[in-house]
Each structure stands twice: as structure tokens, then as C-alpha cells.
Amino acid sequence: MLRVAERDGGTGWSVVDDAGNLVTIVEGYLRRISAQAFSPHTVRAYAYDLLAFWRWLEQEKLDVWSLRTSDLLRYIQWEKVRANPQRPGGNVYRIEDGRAGGMSVLTINRRLAAIHGLYEHLMLMEPDRLARNPVPRGQVGRGWRRSGQPQGLLGHLAQRRAPGPLRLRVPHRLPRGLAPDEVERLVGSFRTYRDKAIALLMLYGGLRSCEVLRLKLGDVDLAAKTVRVFGKGARERVVPVDEDALRMVHRYLLHERPDSEQPEIFLVGKGPRRGHPLTAEGLRRLFRYHRALSGVPAGNPHRLRHTFATNLAEAGVDAHVLRDLMGHAHLDSSLAYVHLTAAHLRDAYDRAVERVKEGASDEPR
């Protein structure tokens, strides 16, 4: 039975069999993206994606070197309907006819991206053995481009990369924050300074869970009331943080943090791993427990981040400022928050109608 194994102290991941033997084809690709400074979280996700793909190849008795695009269509269907008891979270959904739950559209698209990357790697390493990638991608549309970037006055008209024929359509859903009473119940359920500090950094600073876990002692400037954050794609930003969150971090450092040589701020407080950095799985267990305790089923780290962004958008913060605070790579991600609420829509609608009425009243009768 194949599985994913951690290596290099959690910075790398491998796909191995029960005897610990590496799946060498996958291993080469995972080591390559690790060397290209992909985050350990991305490498881990791709390792699990390729684990699922490799299990499917074995089940279907298919050879990775002779796979066709038509075979991948069957793989997509398999992912959509297969039972997956190990991942019962929000990324598992039910098919309308009552069959077992499969993977979400976003997860399937990510797995197709991982498979595409694997075959690009194989084409580079074994050009005589593999001539084409069985995972087709969309074509770059024509436009005023140079070196892949829009140029000139009409550069904004250049078309984006079209999705490939194997990319599933993703339903458009607006990000949803927590209601004030949900925030109060969830944050109020945390009992330690450490746990409250983590939640408040997400709620008042918009930090991702991985960004909170990466925070080091030198990243927090209590005097300037800022935090240096290392986000996705190794992008660094400095964000202002509310006094309440910083006060909770300070209390944690003074009263709860174990004596340790570890540079990370948030450490395990008890048990055999006391003094070691808090892991992503440990953070998931923490929020899973407090979701049940507080009765807030949507109370996860990303919802706290959404709440932060939603509150800023409702306060009228410019989308460009919101992008910098949230660490978004593209402005489109930030614009999703600008017109979130019915109150915003109603206000814009009322102002537009009022202008129309004023214009109509000025017309000669």
C-alpha cells in the first residue's frame, strides 16, 4: 500500500510503499519542486495528489508512460465519485444520486495541476521516452504581450490563459466571514494566551494559518505594532496588528511559552513534544475541538481571515490596500471582498437611484 512519508525534517515529502521504497518517478518531481522553493505545504499537497493518482494507475493497471488524455477523463470521474473516508472535511461533497462522496472541484483541479507538472518533469528528464503531456492546458490568447506580460495602451485587453479541457469549472462563491456572535463564541472558547493570540492574529491581522505558524520571535515589533509575515510564494509583508492581538502575544511570551531554542513563536505547551513548534496538524486539531466546543461549525482559521477582510471592505478600505494587507498576489482576490454584503449593494443601488431621480427632476416639464 502506497503512502506519503515525511523527509528532511518536514520540509520534504515522498511517496513510498510499505517497505519504505520510493516511487522514484514521483520522487524526482517532488525533489525538483522542493529545490525550486515551493513551500513545504505545496510539496506535501502535491505528494498526496500524486499518491492518489498512482493508486489509481495501479488499480486500473495503467502505465504512467503510456497514459492518454482519455484515460485522465476516467480518472476525473473516479475522483468525483470515489469514497474518501480519510478526508471527511469540507472538501468532500455528495453526488446528487446518492453515491459516495468524492473530491471537490478545487481539489481535482489541483491534482490535475500536479499530474501536469509531473509529466512536464518527465518530458524534461526523458524526452526520448515521452513526447507529449497527456494533461492538456489552455492556450495563451493573442494580445499586446511581450515576455508574457501585457504591453501598451491596449495591454489590458490581452486575454488570460484559457482553462485546459481537463480543468473543471469552479463554482463562483464569495468568501464568507463569521458573524459577530460567532466570533465572540469561537474566540471566547480559547482558554490559553497562546490559542487566543493565534486566533486574534488571524482575526485582526488577516494572517493565514501557515503564516502564523511561521512567525518567529524577531518578526513581532511590539513598539511599532506590526508583524513581519512570510506568505505564499515567499512574499514578505509587514502588517499592522491590533493592540489586543499583540497584548495577547506578549502575555503568551511572558507566561506560557516553554523555554526553548526554537525561533518560532508558537510552540507545543505540553506532552512529549513540549517546546517544539506547533504543527499544521496540531493547529487543525485545536480549531476542530473549539468549533465543537463553541458551536461554530464554520470556525476555522480561514474564516477568521475572511472576517478580517470583510470588515475592512465594509469599512471602505481600498482594494489595493486590502491586497497588501492580505498578501494577495492578484488584485482580483481582494476585489471579491469589496461587494460582499447586501448592505453595500443596497447603498450603491440607493445612491444610483437617487442620482437618476435628481436628474429626472431637473428636466423641463
Confirm whether 60 is domain-assigned. yes
Locate cell 496540531: which residue? 282
Which residue in the block uniquely carries the three cell numbers 488524455? 69
Q: pLDDT for 56-106, tens place per residue?
A: 999 999 999 999 989 998 998 888 876 444 444 444 434 333 334 567 888
Compute the distance between CA of residue 344 and CA of residue 312 in angstroms, rounded to an integer.
13
pLDDT at 258: 95
- Let me know if residue 234 belongs to a domain: yes
323-339, pLDDT tens digit by residue? 888 888 777 777 777 65
Residues 259 and 322 occupy one common structural domain: yes
Residues 84 and 216 in one domain: no
Calculated CA dihedral for residues 51, 103, 305, 276, nearest 10 degrees: -30
Each residue's pLDDT tens digit, 196-217: 999 999 999 999 998 999 999 9
Q: Is 235 a catalytic residue?
A: no
Residue 176 annotated in active site: no
Residue 113 near residue 137, CB atoms below 8 Å: no
Helix H, strand E, coil C: the string for 174-230 is CCCCCCHHHHHHHHHHCCCHHHHHHHHHHHHHCCCHHHHHHCEHHHEECCCCEEEEE
User: Catalytic pick from 44, 116, 257, 305?
Assistant: 305
Classify residue 144: in a domain, yes or no: no
pLDDT at 334: 76
Residue 332 lies in a domain: yes
Q: How far is residue 365's CA from residue 358's CA, in Å, rounded to a whole number?
A: 14
Predicted confidence (pLDDT) per residue in 266-278, tens digit: 999 999 999 999 9
Q: Is 121 a catalytic residue?
A: no
| 234, 194 contact by CB (below 8 A) | no
Instruction: Identify which of 222, 199, 221 has the alpha carbon closest to the alpha carbon of residue 212.
Output: 199
93 and 195, same domain (yes or no): no
Place of cell 486590502: 322
119 and 33 belong to one structural domain: yes
56 and 198 share a domain? Answer: no
Active-site choice (167, 196, 208, 290): 208
| One domain for residues 223 and 337 | yes
The pLDDT-based confidence of 287 (bands split at 50, 70, 90) is very high
**Residue 76, in any domain of the structure:** yes
For residue 156, the 8-state DSSP code is: G
Asked, for residue 78, whether it belongs to a domain, the answer is yes
What average pLDDT does range 1-9 have in this prediction?
81
Residue 147 makes CB contacts below 8 A (sequence gap 6+) with: none
Tell me if residue 41 is catalytic.
no
In a domain, 347, yes or no: no
Instruction: Indicate if 122 and 236 belong to the same structural domain.
Output: no
Residue 305 known to be catalytic: yes
Looking at the fold, whether 124 and 215 belong to one and the same domain comes out as no
User: Which one of 3, 82, 284, 302 is the catalytic residue?
Assistant: 302
CATH number, domain at 50? 1.10.150.130
Residue 363 lies in a domain: no
By three-state DSSP, how is residue 28 classified? helix
On whether both 131 and 35 belong to a single domain, the answer is yes
Residue tagged 487566543 (cell numbers): 196
Q: What is the pTM of this model?
A: 0.66
pLDDT tens-digit readout, 13-39:
888 887 888 889 999 999 999 888 788
75, 193, 252, 337: the catalytic one is: 337
* pLDDT band (50, 70, 90) for residue 153: very low
Residues 78 and 22 in one domain: yes
Please tell me which residue, 155 or 11, carries the higher pLDDT value: 11
CATH of the domain at 266: 1.10.443.10
CA distances from 41 to 12, 45, 210 (A): 9, 6, 8
List 232, 250, 276, 344, catalytic entry = 232
**Together in a domain, 325 and 207:** yes
116 is catalytic: no
In the chain, the number of structural domains is 2
Instruction: Give the distance from CA 256 to its chain's centroid.
Output: 30
- What range defines the domain where residue 278 resides? 180-342
User: Same domain, yes or no, for 190 and 41?
Assistant: no
